[in-house]
Amino acid sequence: MRAVPFPCPGQGSWICFHAVSPDLIGARPLPERCAVEPVCLFTHIGGICGFVSPNTRVGIIGAGNVAARHADVLSGFPDVTIAGVADTDLHKAEALASAHGSPAYGSHADLLSAGGLDAVYICVPPFAHGTPEYDALSCNMPIFVEKPLSLDLETAEKIAAEIERRQLPSAVGHHWRYLDIVDRARELLDGRPVRLALGHWLDKVPPVGWWLNAGMSGGQILEQAVHVLDLARLLVGEVSMVHAVPAGNPVDGEIDRATSAVMSSTDGAAGLLATSCLLRHKHRVGLEVCADGIALELSETRLLIDGEAAVEDGGHAKTLVDRTFIDAVRGKDADVRAPYGEALRTHRLALALARSAAERRPVMLDE
């Protein structure tokens, strides 16, 4: 049969082919620097491109603990194949790749150039974001990005704009949005605007060498407490002003070991945030909210209602955050709760708090 190409009205750069039958099969042409034969097959039914490949082939950039967690979840999906792992530390890439029967690469460029991918997970430290996302997007790859999005705002805004321009599926690892108890909290708060929010992240220093370096991690608010900020945005609303006060640093160039902040929302709610990495254990991580006649306290595992009734989470959030992204890549109607553009709003809030602490002054979010 002779195939006749024509522009696909679905995803921007897909080319569909008509070959006698009513089904249209398409292959995505990759840029020259991703010089491989097209491998992703799509079908065109009723004017919509949908995934028909039996397996979604995922490449993972980064081979640390978070990447390993995603790899474990993804490998449990029958319709996903881990097609490669890349890390600047080739030994780490090889260790993770071998656990999932996939090849290892010493750079993300080599992983992308090898081709055969349908989506990319980017699980790198804060200072390494930017180039991996740009390169994956230039190959027209849907991307899942682990938080934080970057050390700055400009990099994340450029990535968000490119995702929007290409109309690609995206997701960010704000898995708290998928907690059963968060759904329950939203039900309880329906019709009850939150008036006070208290966020905490009182913890220890993670065992990675770059974490205390302010120029590499961006600080505890950006690297850890961003989960609490994202939950606050979801339950309380958008923040209009922040004023953060840091504790004195014992060593120049290190992150603030403790920070307190006040925040106000566009809807009139007041908020407080306390962070610390001075401890030897995870002491308290979560968000408390007060609305008319109700107080809720949420952690990653439990919802406490009015200080008495406790609801335990089902523990599926870290699976759901991956499942919904894969479904989106496969063209399904997926409930992706933190696409990149939405996560950018939380990133902007975290950076405003970091800026306020650094400059010792209030910061308006619209500055």
Does residue 310 share a domain with residue 188?
yes
Q: Are residues 220 and 348 in the same domain?
A: yes
How, if at all, do strands 4-7 and 15-18 pair? antiparallel
194 shares its domain with 250: yes
Among 157, 173, 189, residue at a domain's last position: 173
Q: Report the pLDDT value the prediction gives residue 248, as an integer from 0 to 100.
A: 83
CATH assignment of the domain containing 291: 3.30.360.10
CATH of the domain at 116: 3.40.50.720
Query: What residues are paired with 321 via a beta bridge?
Result: none
CA proximity to 57, closest of 37, 35, 81, 22: 81
Residue 160, classed as helix, strand or coil, is: helix
Of 120, 206, 188, the closest CA to residue 159 belongs to 120
B/e letters for 316-337, b = 16+ CB within 10 Å, e = fewer, are: ebbbbbbbbbbbbbbbeebebb
Same structural domain for residues 119 and 260?
no
Give the sign of the dihedral formed by CA 310, CA 316, CA 318, CA 322. Answer: negative
What backbone torsions phi and psi does residue 206 show, to the nearest 5 degrees?
-60, 150
For residues 211 and 141, membership in a common domain is answered with no
At residue 255's C-alpha, the angle toward residues 252 and 257, to 5°, is: 105
Note whether 198 and 298 are same-domain residues. yes
Q: Is 307 a domain residue?
A: yes
Per the domain annotation, does 325 fall within a domain?
A: no
Q: What is the pLDDT of residue 207?
A: 94
Cα→Cα distances 211→224, 251, 291, Å? 11, 14, 36
Residue 332 domain flag: no
For 96-152, what is the HEC assignment?
Answer: HHHHCCCCEECCHHHHHHHCCCCEEEECCCHHHCCHHHHHHHHCCCCEEECCCCCCC
Whether residue 326 is contained in a domain is answered as no
Q: Are residues 216 and 307 in the same domain?
A: yes
Identify the CA nearest to 193 among candidates 239, 236, 240. Answer: 236
CA separation for the pair 121, 59 (Å, rounded): 6
Query: What does the pLDDT read at residue 53?
Result: 58
Hey, what amino acid is at 331?
G
Q: Indicate whether 204 and 234 sit together in one domain.
A: yes
Residues 21 and 65 in one domain: no
CA-nearest of 176, 183, 149 to 320 is 176
Long-range contacts at 206-209 (CB < 8 A, ≥ 24 apart): 208/64, 208/125
Do residues 168 and 188 share a domain? no
Which of 12, 29, 51 delimits the end of a domain?
51
Residue 113 lies in a domain: yes
Mark the ranges of the chain whose per-residue pLDDT is less than 50. 1-33, 35-52
Cα–Cα nearest to 119, from 45, 222, 11, 43: 11
pLDDT digits (tens, 9 = 90+) for 27-78: 344 444 453 333 333 333 333 344 445 899 999 999 999 999 999 999 999 9
- Asked whether residue 321 is assigned to any structural domain, the reply reads no
Quick check: is 218 in a domain? yes
Same domain, 30 and 63: no
> What is the residue range of 217's domain?
176-314+338-364
Q: Which of 35, 51, 67 is the last residue of a domain?
A: 51
Q: What is the pTM of this model?
A: 0.87
Amino acid present at 326: I
CA dihedral 107, 110, 116, 122 (to 10 degrees): 20
Question: Number of structural domains, the chain?
Answer: 3
Tell whether 247 and 349 lie within a shared domain. yes
Examine residue 275 and state whether it is found in any structural domain, yes or no. Answer: yes
